[in-house]
Structure 1
Amino acid sequence: MEYAFSLQNINFRYSKKRPLVLNDVSLNVAKGTIFGLLGPSGAGKSTTQKLMTKLLDDYDGNILYFGKDLKKFGTSFYEDVGVGFEMPVHFNKLTAMENLSFFARLYRKNIDYEALLVRVGLGEAKNQQVGQFSKGMKVRLNFVRALLNDPDVIFLDEPTNGLDPTNARIIKDIIRELKAQGKTIFISTHLMGDVEELCDEVAFIANGHLLTISSPKKLKLQYGKRNIIVEYYQDDVPMKSVFPLDTIGTDAAFLDIIKTKKIITIHSDEVSMEQIFIDIVGQKAPQ
């Protein structure tokens, strides 16, 4: 398997007198996948992204970018990388198109960013000053800006935060399309629904320590309960029964309900990603 990024035993502190922000962090981001980094505020997520995007470089350990030492890359590195920070900096007195045109000139290649503006619902506002944009509009503009140079690796920090469901769906659909094109996407978010929908693999970090790395599906199986919940009517009264999933085929009570009762719903006792986050991050990481 080819890795876009490989972090090996990373330690980082902002000054010698301050504690470690990242403590022996190791992770691999496979090429062509969507990788999520999750954790509470101050856990080390933003610092990790800054190291991976060469905004910080005074770290111990190794970071490899497609197998090569990241520190050896020059400014050409940014031709392949797109970054959408949670708190973007726009020129408020310029229009959306003027903003994108300015940043597009920093790269050798560009996408058709006007078409992408239309796709994310900003076509009619393209000639409006960004200072007049709502938060959601700025989030979408920031997303377009991250894709200006048609990057192979994309860092997105809270890409759907502040968006209504319709616009969030558009952004998530585009992210899936980018993955289908073979691009590698690194996401940091507090929205666990996005994690479950988009991420192939997620890492949980707290107090600068990496706690676990797995896929959302494996985590849901690991932390969930192997039960089937049946809601049904008995004499017009809603009832609910829980049955072990492993013996469902021979469970007489379950089979009787299925055969004789009017069923409202049947579903597995899945745990939410929110609860998994609480269970994992709630464990005290080493100080």
Structure 2
Amino acid sequence: MKTIVKIAELRKNFGHEQALKGIQFEIKSGEIFGLLGPSGSGKTTTIKLLTGELDPTSGSLEVLGYSSEMFGRTEYLEKLGILSDKSALYERLTVADNLELYRKLYNTDKEKVDEVLEAVGLLDQKNKRVSKLSKGMKQRILLCKAVLHAPPLLLLDEPTSALDPNTRERIHEMLLKLKESGTTILLTTHDMDEATLLCDNVAFLHGGIIKETGSPEDLRNKYKRNVVHIKYASGLIKTIENSSENFNQIQEALFDQNLIEMHTDFPSLGEVFKNVTGKELI
């Protein structure tokens, strides 16, 4: 697979504060890569470095064959779709007028406006003024704006933060369809359930340092414990090491009429993050 994003020993300082402390990772063509961590971990700083909004203190960035010195070029920016905390719409214009402005800017086909609106379930809202839309609808329109010109790389900074479950599901469906079409996506989030659902690979970013990388499934397997959790009707929960020495005890529990639930330890991605960093993801 072709490497789309390559970051090596990337550092970013703001005065005496080190926001990024030598991170490195790669993103392959057509994958969804999750940069995961709590607020203040360095996720947004990384996005701003990739868009050229910030310059690195040291280290190297290469995106779509462009080095960071070339990130200001129009030809580079045209290859990106960006959704960040600075993304905005013209509130007094209609949905269609907002997207038409960007369609003309990128010289894409006129049909693309209806196409992206249909993808997020807002085609029937195209003639509504943006100021009349809910926050969730506006977020979907911002995503439409980011993908309107069919960029090969999407940089999405917390695209579903604070959205309702239905809107979040709509956006998830759209991102998975974009992946199927070959779009590469860098997604920053602190929602580990979202990352488990969407991402092919993830990196745990904490305190400006990448603590762990891998696929969600591989990381969950790597940090699982060899134990069995047993829950009884009384509310009692037992945790027993899954070993031959405890075979009789586990078998006895299996046939106990008061047994409610029995399962091996398979941590969530959030639990793995806590295991790796020693911190809750908040």
TM-score by length of 2: 0.86
Whether 1:115 aligns to 2:115 is: yes
Q: 1:203 deviation in Å?
A: 1.4
Q: What is the CA deviation profile of residues 246-279 of structure 1, one whole-angstrom value per residue up to 9, with x for unaligned ones?
A: 549x822323343463753333322222233333
Task: Mark the runs of 5 or more structure 2 residues left unpaired by the alignment.
Answer: none
User: Which residue of structure 1 lines up, in the alignment, with residue 36 of structure 2?
Assistant: 38
- The 8 Å contact of residues 2 and 66 in structure 1, kept in 2 or not, is answered as no
After superposition, residues 223-238 of structure 1 pair within 5 angstroms as 223-231=223-231
Distance 1:186 1:84 in 2: 11
- The 8 Å contact of residues 39 and 190 in structure 2, kept in 1 or not, is answered as no
- The 8 Å contact of residues 33 and 186 in structure 2, kept in 1 or not, is answered as yes
- The 8 Å contact of residues 34 and 179 in structure 1, kept in 2 or not, is answered as yes
Distance 1:245 1:152 in 2: 47
Aligned identity (percent) is 30
User: Which residue of structure 2 lines up, in the alignment, with residue 258 of structure 1?
Assistant: 254
Distance 1:229 1:20 in 2: 42
Q: 1:150 deviation in Å?
A: 0.7
Task: Mark the runs of 5 or more structure 1 residues left unpaired by the alignment.
Answer: none
Q: In structure 2, which of residues 228, 241, 245 is the aligned counterpart of residue 244 of structure 1?
A: 241
Q: 1:88 to 1:66 in 2, by over 3 A?
A: closer
- The 8 Å contact of residues 139 and 161 in structure 1, kept in 2 or not, is answered as no
Whether 1:272 aligns to 2:268 is: yes
Q: 1:81 to 1:255 in 2, by over 3 A?
A: same
Letter matched to residue 239 of structure 2: V
User: Which residue of structure 2 lines up, in the alignment, with residue 28 of structure 1?
Assistant: 26
Aligned CA RMSD, in angstroms, stands at 2.5
- The 8 Å contact of residues 231 and 241 in structure 1, kept in 2 or not, is answered as yes
Bigger shift: residues 70-79 or 129-138: 70-79
Distance 1:50 1:25 in 2: 15
Equivalent pairs counted in the alignment come to 277
Letter matched to residue 161 of structure 2: N
Q: 1:221 deviation in Å?
A: 2.2
After superposition, residues 86-97 of structure 1 pair within 5 angstroms as 86-97=85-96
Letter matched to residue 50 of structure 1: K
After superposition, residues 202-217 of structure 1 pair within 5 angstroms as 202-217=202-217
Q: 1:211 deviation in Å?
A: 2.2
SS in 2 for 1:264: strand
Q: 1:94 to 1:24 in 2, by over 3 A?
A: same
Q: 1:206 to 1:259 in 2, by over 3 A?
A: closer
- The 8 Å contact of residues 117 and 126 in structure 2, kept in 1 or not, is answered as yes
Distance 1:242 1:12 in 2: 44
Distance 1:127 1:144 in 2: 15
Q: 1:2 to 1:252 in 2, by over 3 A?
A: same
Distance 1:108 1:61 in 2: 35
Q: 1:172 deviation in Å?
A: 1.0
Distance 1:25 1:142 in 2: 29
User: Which residue of structure 2 lines up, in the alignment, with residue 72 of structure 1?
Assistant: 70
Q: 1:214 deviation in Å?
A: 2.2
- The 8 Å contact of residues 47 and 157 in structure 2, kept in 1 or not, is answered as no
Q: 1:229 deviation in Å?
A: 2.5
Letter matched to residue 256 of structure 1: E
- The 8 Å contact of residues 35 and 205 in structure 2, kept in 1 or not, is answered as yes
Q: 1:262 to 1:281 in 2, by over 3 A?
A: closer
Q: What is the CA deviation profile of residues 35-66 of structure 1, one whole-angstrom value per residue up to 9, with x for unaligned ones?
A: 11122222221111111122223542221124
Distance 2:17 2:250 in 1: 56
Distance 2:124 2:51 in 1: 33
